[in-house]
A and B are shown apart, each in its own frame.
Chain A
Amino acid sequence: MNVRYIEKDKLLYFDLTEEIDHHTTEEIRRRADYEIERYMPKRVIFNFNSVSFMDSAGIGMLLGRYKMVKMIGGELGIINVKKNIRKVLEMCGILKLIPIYETV
């Protein structure tokens, strides 16, 4: 996972680089929480461009980050989501909380 922070927009940007399951969410969660606490961003974006697979462990991970970002008064969104991952997101009904942005 690559991390970028854009100070002027208070935007924290995570480029996810792996398949997202119970195994990989441990590390994503740890790293994301560390960076969110460090920057206290207004917006957090997870870029799914390189992600070809996600199961419900990813839903749990996203909801956990959503709660955290919400608590510090920020918002969380995702971008570049492939069709199969959108299907999982839609089924779990989390797009109302965590929108898919067309552009950042």
Chain B
Amino acid sequence: MNKFENEMKLEIVSKSNNEAFARITVAAFAAQLDPTIEEIADIKTAVSEAVTNSIIHGYENGEGKITIKAKISENTIYIEISDLGKGIEDVETAKQPLYTSKPDLERSGMGFTIMESFMDEVKVESIVGLGTKVSMKKKIKKESLNPINEGDSINS
């Protein structure tokens, strides 16, 4: 099988109406791996969570830039979402299900939990005062390109 590589980079300002733009763009890029509808939904949701975190927590709804990089290598997509915001003091605590540093905003505290269950791998690197980078990967499980058709299996 041919090794397939491709890359994209997108920079957005931290405005909430860019959340949809970011997830749709990454989903469109991922489409070349021929994912299932469910796999696309997983990727869109994970991207939306990470971008929203940058806007609400990284920049606290203020001004800033968010960089979204995606790379395809064979049948895996690698996505990196980074901001230059205030950073996360304790990443392990932030990742706990239902934990939110902003309960007044009706946040569910499920962002990292969703990223971790919808993607194969999630890595969070953060330095207080410098920013946060979320790296995720997901393998697109392609159906066999040469499915055995019924006639063949009966004859063999």
Q: Chain B 94-119 against A: per-residue CB contact (8 Å), 1 yes, 0 no? A: 00000000000111111101100100
Q: Which of A2-47 contact B (CB under 8 A)?
A: 19, 21-23, 25-26, 29
| Chain B residues, CB < 8 A from A51 | none
Whether B107 contacts A60 by the Cβ 8 Å rule is yes
| Chain B residues, CB < 8 A from A21 | 16, 19-20, 48, 52
Whether B44 contacts A53 by the Cβ 8 Å rule is yes
B85 to chain A, nearest CB (A): 15
Whether A91 contacts B110 by the Cβ 8 Å rule is yes
Q: Quick one: given A56-B114, A61-B106, A63-B106, are A22 and B20 in contact (CB under 8 Å)?
A: no
CA distance A23 to B56 in the complex (A): 11
| Chain A residues, CB < 8 A from B49 | 55-56
CA distance A55 to B23 in the complex (A): 11
Whether B107 contacts A55 by the Cβ 8 Å rule is no
Whether A23 contacts B20 by the Cβ 8 Å rule is yes
Whether A91 contacts B19 by the Cβ 8 Å rule is no
CA distance A88 to B45 in the complex (A): 9
Q: Which of B19-54 contact A (CB under 8 A)?
A: 19-20, 23, 37-38, 41-42, 44-45, 48-49, 52
CA distance A59 to B45 in the complex (A): 13
Whether B41 contacts A60 by the Cβ 8 Å rule is no
Give the residue of B16, B20, B56, B113 whose beta carbon is less than 8 angstroms from that of A91.
B113
CA distance A79 to B58 in the complex (A): 34
Q: Is B17 in contact with chain A by the CB < 8 A criterion?
A: yes
B1 to chain A, nearest CB (A): 29
CA distance A10 to B67 in the complex (A): 47
Q: Is A64 in contact with chain B by the CB < 8 A criterion?
A: yes
Whether A63 contacts B108 by the Cβ 8 Å rule is yes
Q: Is A50 in contact with chain B by the CB < 8 A criterion?
A: no
**Interface positions of A (Cβ within 8 A of B):** 19, 21-23, 25-26, 29, 53, 55-57, 59-61, 63-64, 83-84, 87-88, 91-92
Other than A55-B114, A84-B42, give 7 A-B pairs with Cβ distance below 8 A: A21-B19, A21-B20, A22-B56, A56-B107, A56-B110, A59-B110, A63-B108
**Interface positions of B (Cβ within 8 A of A):** 16-17, 19-20, 23, 37-38, 41-42, 44-45, 48-49, 52, 55-56, 105-111, 113-114, 117
Top 4 nearest A-B pairs (CB, nearest first) are A84-B41, A23-B16, A59-B108, A60-B106
